[in-house]
Structure 1
Amino acid sequence: MQASLVRRLEEPDIEVINCHAISHDEQFLALCPNCEEIDMFQLLSEKYQRSDVLTKHSQRVTGLDWSCFGRLLSVSEDRTAFVWERGTSDGTWRSSNVELKAQRAALCAAWSPNGELFAVGLSSKDTALCYWKEEVNCWVAMKVGKSKAAITSLAWHSSSQFLATGSTDRYCVVYDVSMSESGDLTPSFGTPQVTEDAGSWINDIAFSNGNVLAFTCQDATVRFKSLVGGADAPVEIVRWLGLPFLRLAFVGRTQLVACGFDYVPVLFVQRDGAWQVAGSLDVGGAPSGGPAGVVRESFDEARQRFRGSTGGKASKPGSWHSNTITSCCPLKDGRFSTSALDGTVLVWEMSS
């Protein structure tokens, strides 16, 4: 498998991107340049061009996500969240209030696949599950679960009935968040269905359409658990010989892209019933050493790269990104996007 570069966004005034999100139809791109503002871009003539700057938050935006209905969710360290919708008449973005009830910073956010709910991971060790309440004309939160440390990642099951959370307490937990057709909570609401000890803090989690739960940890491993076998199914551990991954995205039932400190997206595939590293997807031809395309470098090379990073951008030879990849978003038809601390956003397309 290979990946080709479809689009590249690089603005002179954007030096760092800590999170981004692309709408389902790929017409809009939202990103945060590591501050309290959200830069909006619209796809015009196959290029993303800046259209708006959203300014509601008072501290750094930490999470962005698009719903299937074209709503943008943003959360921030200022303990607030907003849902943005674009007006059909004038094209301006308007925000809806969210009664988040957060005592500490919001760290991540994710819409449910059906677009009716969204979840916000909080540094107060719990998760806010938000729904629209017509009586008060705003989104209202109810708390789900309680961890021993901050919630750093979220992932929804394709049925919108289960929510997975990852925490720095090293546990990955899947909760039942199903509701009845009338909107009432089911008796099993909020009950943990799966609990896994990852051994180290969890950086990101992802659900596949084939009921596979993947989570990556700070110990440079990616772990896979097939939920077809139930809560007691074994966890398959794939070790990475490079630096830890920060983000995961399924681009197929048996294909997972992982990104992080190595500057390059790496493909994991399931072959003969086992998950394994397939290699780097960077079209720039990042060097590989050792088995399965693992990127390596000597101690002297690492030291020189660290020293050079203080004086400007220091990219790995042949890589499109020149700094840590901070965000990875799955798109349709085998596409995915990445953004990094180098201030660029790339859209990739898988090819056989």
Structure 2
Amino acid sequence: MSAFEIEHLATCITAHAWNADRSRVAICPNNNEVHIFAKKDNSWVVEHVLTEHDQVVTSIDWAPKTNRILTASQDRNAYVWTFAAGQWKPVLVLLRINRAATHVKWSPQENKFAVASGAKLVCICFFEEEHDWWASTHIRKHKSTVLKVDWHPNNLLLATASSDFKVRVFDAFIKKADGRVTRPYGEIPFGDPIFEFDQCASWVHACKWSPSGNTLAFASHDSNLAVANFSSNPPTVEKIKLRTLPLCDLLYLTENSIVGVGYDCTPVLITNSNGWTYQGELDKPGTGAAATSGAEPTNARKLFQNKVDLGDTKTDTKLSTAHQNCITTIVPTKSAGGLVSDFSTSGLDGNVVQWHTKVLETKSKLKVI
């Protein structure tokens, strides 16, 4: 069982992100605003409210090195916020999209970022010194809404998860931002996918690179998790049917352990030991291999099954989990040497939960305490 701390910061939270030293957290309370909370004594108080967006903010990313906040919204806009003279000042990004922006992510070197959208494309954005603005170029090879993006540790490759049932890997090299670098797959035309994975039979909600970039995990709405291994060419893909409701976001704790969050209202652990396997829930007793066989479904799943099978409409929906509704976002809060020991989750219940785990990884076993 993992230790955790719960902070109820809003009625509903669509996204959250932390600054570099974790002294502040930015959230969207399911509207057009971004609230920045700071820790005062033993409580979190609102320090700033960012109101430049016109519709619900869908994604937030806070760059740890440059201290810039990146936000995207259903209003089809993205802003880069810079802190100066005690205020957060926005710079509009020229996205040139006609549908909502769904997800944003800074590159590891923070010299560019990616914006997913409902316009069947991804914007790769970079700063133009001569014009003093953020411009973008488009990756268009998707057939439906792009739901998530994630950068490879090399700062060049970008993975996208789409509702067209596919995961793609692109070379997102931008000459103005990257300069002269060695591209891992040669001079591939911008916007052409290097790899395309169609192992999913429904929307792909999430994709995440491992710390080394050797594997890519992605989760879909049919409650499947797939892991692509790039140590061979072409990559091999291992697919796992989960016992949970669909996952919405993923995080690697180590090269061989993944935490997924979603509609079951609890983080779940999937580990690799001669094959990826579901290990159990992190905020329940009995997490581990012993919990994988014959275990009962979670309370969230029982509630759903009772409504469908029995017509149960009881209003008492108090769950025994830390979250009381779908978890939409998971981000690391403490890591060292490729091991993530602490992470935070937020969801539709308005809670931000900080999880403290102890990860033990050897050649023969992996254990999360």
Scaled by the length of structure 2, the TM-score of the pair is: 0.85
State the 1:242 CA deviation.
2.1
Residue 270 of structure 1 is matched in structure 2 by: 272
Contact 1:249 1:330 in 2 (8 A): yes
Matched AA of 1:257? V
Matched AA of 2:218? F
SS of residue in 2 equivalent to 1:332: strand
CA displacement, residues 107-151 of structure 1 (integer Å, 9 cap, x when unaligned):
111110111110000101000000011111111111013211000
Residues 1:349 and 2:344 aligned together: no
1:55 equivalent among 27, 51, 66: 51
Residues 1:85 and 2:46 aligned together: no
Matched AA of 1:346? V
Change (3 A) 1:55 1:228: same
1:160 equivalent among 115, 132, 155: 155
1:175 equivalent among 162, 165, 170: 170
Change (3 A) 1:22 1:33: same
Residue 106 of structure 1 is matched in structure 2 by: 101
Change (3 A) 1:148 1:24: same
Contact 2:279 2:291 in 1 (8 A): no
Residues 1:193 and 2:197 aligned together: no
Residue 33 of structure 1 is matched in structure 2 by: 29
Q: CA RMSD in A?
A: 2.5
Change (3 A) 1:338 1:294: farther
Identical residues among aligned pairs (%): 29
Residues 1:225 and 2:228 aligned together: yes
- What is the alpha-carbon distance in structure 1 between the residues aligned to residue 159 and residue 243 of structure 2? 26
Scaled by the length of structure 1, the TM-score of the pair is: 0.89
Matched AA of 2:12? V
Q: Which runs of 5+ in 1 are unaligned?
A: none
- What is the alpha-carbon distance in structure 2 between the residues aligned to residue 244 and residue 291 of structure 1? 19
State the 1:243 CA deviation.
0.9
Contact 2:280 2:292 in 1 (8 A): no
Change (3 A) 1:115 1:293: farther
- What is the alpha-carbon distance in structure 2 between the residues aligned to residue 111 and residue 85 of structure 1? 14
- What is the alpha-carbon distance in structure 2 between the residues aligned to residue 26 and residue 342 of structure 1? 22
- What is the alpha-carbon distance in structure 2 between the residues aligned to residue 4 and residue 196 of structure 1? 36
- What is the alpha-carbon distance in structure 1 between the residues aligned to residue 351 and residue 210 of structure 2? 27
State the 1:306 CA deviation.
6.5
Q: Which runs of 5+ in 2 are unaligned?
A: 336-340, 359-368
- What is the alpha-carbon distance in structure 1 between the residues aligned to residue 53 and residue 311 of structure 2? 35
SS of residue in 2 equivalent to 1:155: strand
CA displacement, residues 27-77 of structure 1 (integer Å, 9 cap, x when unaligned):
221111111111111234464322111100001111111123221100001
Residue 113 of structure 2 is matched in structure 1 by: 118
Contact 1:151 1:168 in 2 (8 A): yes
SS of residue in 2 equivalent to 1:229: coil
State the 1:250 CA deviation.
1.3
2:14 equivalent among 8, 18, 29: 18
Residue 3 of structure 2 is matched in structure 1 by: 4
Aligned residues: 340
Residues 1:261 and 2:259 aligned together: no
Residue 302 of structure 1 is matched in structure 2 by: 306
- What is the alpha-carbon distance in structure 1 between the residues aligned to residue 246 and residue 51 of structure 2? 33
1:97 equivalent among 92, 99, 103: 92
- What is the alpha-carbon distance in structure 1 between the residues aligned to residue 32 and residue 174 of structure 2? 34
- What is the alpha-carbon distance in structure 2 between the residues aligned to residue 131 and residue 292 of structure 1? 51
CA displacement, residues 177-215 of structure 1 (integer Å, 9 cap, x when unaligned):
124587459742333111100221101111111321000
Contact 1:279 1:294 in 2 (8 A): no
